[in-house]
Structure 1
Amino acid sequence: MSNLERDPVELLCAADGTGGPVVQVLAPREVPLGGPRAMNVRRTLPQRGRTTIGAWCFADHYGPDDVQLGVGMVVPPHPHTGLQTVSWLFEGEIEHRDSAGSHAMVRPGAVNLMTAGRGISHSEASTPATTRLHGVQLWVALPDASRHVGPFFEHADITPVLVDDATVRVFVGSLAGSVAPESSVTVFSPLLGAQIDLPPFGTVELELEPAFEHGVLVDSGPVEISATDAADGDALGNEASTTAAWSELAFLEAGRRRIRLSAEAQPVRVILLGGVPFGEELVMWWNFIGRTHDEIVEFRRQWQADVIARDNPDGRFGTVAGYDGSPLPAPELPTVRLKPRR
């Protein structure tokens, strides 16, 4: 998915300190994807209070939207650098095309992961068969040692497992003995991504990797979240709990060893994200991730010249074959150098 804001915020991101609350609830902001009839998404990453969770650097939550009423996803070819996109659906179907030659459908129960590396372009559109569209779009920042890899695309079907009252689907990394299919999904830093479903009044307890910081993005709820730094079988240790509502993101600092999720009278569905704190500074603007202002400027110049002006269709971002429409021009850069926003 593209960041289609008319004035995208530039961000210089670094690993956040752990001096804040143990469980911090972040509210989303509404962002339209396109024009006046655009589909709205609710964005919880990045924001000034929290720019990353591990290497997860972007989280959009959307739907359920009635596509039959004309609100669907239509994102023309657009560029990415220095990141991976992770597409995960609850309902509907999205057609993906990219300049690496991939053409695939995004459907519930399967993960589509696209590695932009040094540069890629892709398009996304909900299909005519889709009546309701509902899911999340996530970005992962690539570490400096890996951010210039060649672009590629991967797809993997995910098998659900039962843990306590919950149904767990791990699409990146491992959790509760369930491991995402590593042969199909490639990551470049330690990560976790999972969907967890609970019935009304259900509860699940899960062991966490204490080196990770974690986020709980609520798709349906509310959900009560309790976290402790005690290992299984130890004394309770330092426990913190809170309640997160629909579309909110609860952040748990590194050091938490266990998490308990509890539903009230409504069923719960959350996305659990995790990763080792991202220790590198990075500049995010529009759909690019780089390390300096000048690098972002050059990415934009190449996209505008090579693709929008069609000077070099075989350049850094290539060409998306089979898409019936024009690529998306980049917005104007700010008139000042990109500066830190925390």
Structure 2
Amino acid sequence: MSNLERHPAELVAECDTLDAEGIFLIEPRDVPLGGPRAMPVHRTLPQRAKSTIGGWCFLDHYGPDDVSVTGGMRVPPHPHTGLQTVSWLFQGEIEHRDSVGSHAMVRPGELNLMTAGHGISHSEDSTPETTVLHGAQLWLALPDASRDQDPFFENTVPDPIRIDGAVVRVFIGELAGASADATVFSPLVGAQLDLDAGASVVLDVRSEFEHGILLDLGDVSVAGVEVPHRHLAYVPPGRTRLRLSSVGGARILLLGGEPLGEQIVMWWNFIGRTHDEVVASREQWQHDVIDGSDATGRFGTVADYPGRPLPAPEMPTVRLKPRE
């Protein structure tokens, strides 16, 4: 998914610390996802107080969205650099096309993972059969050693496992004895957990990981801290166990990883290391694709897409600052 904001924010909302152990809540920021009717998404990463959780650097949560009202997801071909896109659906279906020749459907319970590396372009549109769209779009910042590699795409289907009081689908990394097949480039975890009513689940986690827990449906508390709907609870490194409790049942996304330890510059759909690098990526997209000067260049062409690619917004008037 693209960031379709006309004026992408360099810094956004604040976070408030809630307990002595460093857990705090990140409040979502509502962003319209383009188009005349503008499907709304709820963005919890990046934020001013917390730009990344491990390599996770972008999280849009959307739905349940009535496609007949909003028009669904319509994201024309657009570029990415220096990241991986992670598409995870709860309901509906999205058609993915990209410039390395991939054509795939994003379906509930399946992971679509696109590694941009040096550069890729792709499109995402909800299918005509979709009446309700509900899911999450996430990005992973690639570490410096991997960020210029050739782009590729993969689809994996994690097997659900049951642990006490929950069904767990691990789509990135390892958790609760399950491991994912997806290719990643830093120590990470990503999973959907469906908690039973009255459940209290204790997960063994890696102490060097920081974690984020997004509440999609129901109610959940994280180590005793209640998480409001659509909010992301941040848990700093240092824990070997994480307790999740629900009164009426819940569906959550759990994300985590070793702190990235690298400064990144993130603007629109590009991740680089300097302001000038992002400027160069934007100019190359505009020159090669939007102006049509070199359709075989860095970002390639999304074949058979019935529409024009997405022009990049204008760069801000100030230099972009690194985040970490």
Q: Distance in 1 between matches of 2:2 and 2:306?
A: 17
Closer, same or farther: CA 80–262 of 1 in aligned 2, 3 Å: same
Query: Could you list the per-position Cα deviations for residues 222-258 of structure 1 after superposition, in whole angstroms to 9, with x for gaps in the alignment?
Result: 21111xxxxxxxxxxxxxx300011000000011111
Q: Identity rate of aligned residues, in percent?
A: 64
Unaligned runs of 5+ in 2: 12-18
Aligned residue for 1:282?
A: 264
Query: Among 250, 255, 260, which residue is 1:268 paired with?
Result: 250
Q: Quote the offset at 1:68 in angstroms.
A: 2.6
2:198 to 197, 201, 204: 201
Match of 2:14 in 1: none
Displacement of 1:81 in angstroms is: 0.1
Q: Cα gap change, 1:178/1:203 in structure 2, threshold over 3 Å: closer, same or farther?
A: same
Deviation at 1:303, TM superposition (A): 0.3
Q: Distance in 1 between matches of 2:7 and 2:232?
A: 24
CA distance in 2: counterparts of 1:316 and 1:283, whole angstroms: 19
Distance 1:203 1:93 in 2: 32
Q: C-alpha distance in 2, partners of 1:67/1:247?
A: 20
Work out the CA distance in 2 between the residues paired with 1:278 and 1:179: 21
* Mapped partners of 1:212, 1:340: distance in 2: 22
SS in 2 for 1:260: strand
For 1:245 and 1:125, locate their aligned partners in 2 and report how far apart those are by CA, in whole Å.
29
Cα pair 1:65 1:71 within 8 Å, conserved: no
Asked if the contact 1:175–1:208 (Cα under 8 Å) also holds between the matched residues in 2, the reply is yes
Name the counterpart of 1:222: 219
Q: Does 1:338 align with 2:304?
A: no
Match of 2:15 in 1: none
Whether 1:148 and 2:144 are equivalent positions in the alignment is: no
Separation in 2 of the partners of 1:38 and 1:177?
40
Matched, 1:32 2:32: yes
Partner Cα separation in structure 2 for residue 213 and residue 163 of structure 1: 22
Matching residue of 1:190: 187
Rounded Cα–Cα distance in structure 2 between residues aligned with 1:22 and 1:103: 43
> Do the aligned residues in 2 keep the contact of 1:83 with 1:139 (CA within 8 Å)?
yes
1:166–1:196 Cα contact (<8 Å) kept: yes
Q: How far apart are residue 49 of structure 1 and its match?
A: 1.3
Q: How big is the shift at 1:221?
A: 2.5
Distance 1:20 1:213 in 2: 16
CA distance in 1, matches of 2:100, 2:174: 28
Indicate conservation of the 8 Å contact 1:173/1:192, yes or no. Answer: yes
| Aligned-partner Cα distance in 1 for 2:306–2:252 | 35
1:204 partner letter:
V
Residue in structure 2 matched with residue 295 of structure 1 by the alignment? 277
Q: Distance in 2 between matches of 1:150 and 1:58?
A: 21
3-state DSSP of counterpart to 1:317:
coil
Q: Which amino acid aligns with 1:188?
A: F
Q: Does 1:315 align with 2:312?
A: no
Structure 1 stretches of 4+ with a deviation exceeding 3 A read none
Alpha-carbon distance between aligned partners in 1 of 2:228 and 2:214, rounded to the nearest angstrom: 9
Q: By how many angstroms is 1:131 displaced?
A: 1.0
Residue in structure 2 matched with residue 246 of structure 1 by the alignment: 229
Cα distance between partner residues in 2 of 1:198 and 1:49: 29
Shift of 1:204: 1.4
Report the alpha carbon displacement of residue 20 of structure 1 after superposing the two structures with TM: 8.0
Aligned partners of 1:32 and 1:40 also within 8 Å: yes
| Other-structure match for 1:59 | 59
The answer on whether the counterparts of 2:28 and 2:44 sit within 8 Å (CA) in structure 1 is: yes
CA-based RMSD = 1.4
1:170-192 deviation line (CA, Å, top 9, x unaligned): 000010101112xxx21000100
Given that 2:88 and 2:106 are in contact with CA atoms closer than 8 Å, whether structure 1 keeps it comes out as: yes
Deviation at 1:70, TM superposition (A): 4.0
- SS of residue matched to 1:259: strand
Secondary structure at the aligned position of 1:69 is classed as: helix
Matches within 5 A, 1:29-178: 29-178=29-178
Q: Does 1:257 align with 2:273?
A: no
Classify 1:76/1:20 alpha carbon distance in 2 versus 1 (closer, same or farther; 3 Å): farther
What is the identity, as a one-letter code, of the residue corresponding to 1:138?
L
The TM-score with structure 1 as length reference comes to 0.90
Deviates more, 1:102-111 or 1:1-10: 1-10
Q: Please give the secondary structure, in 2, of the residue aligned with 1:8.
A: coil
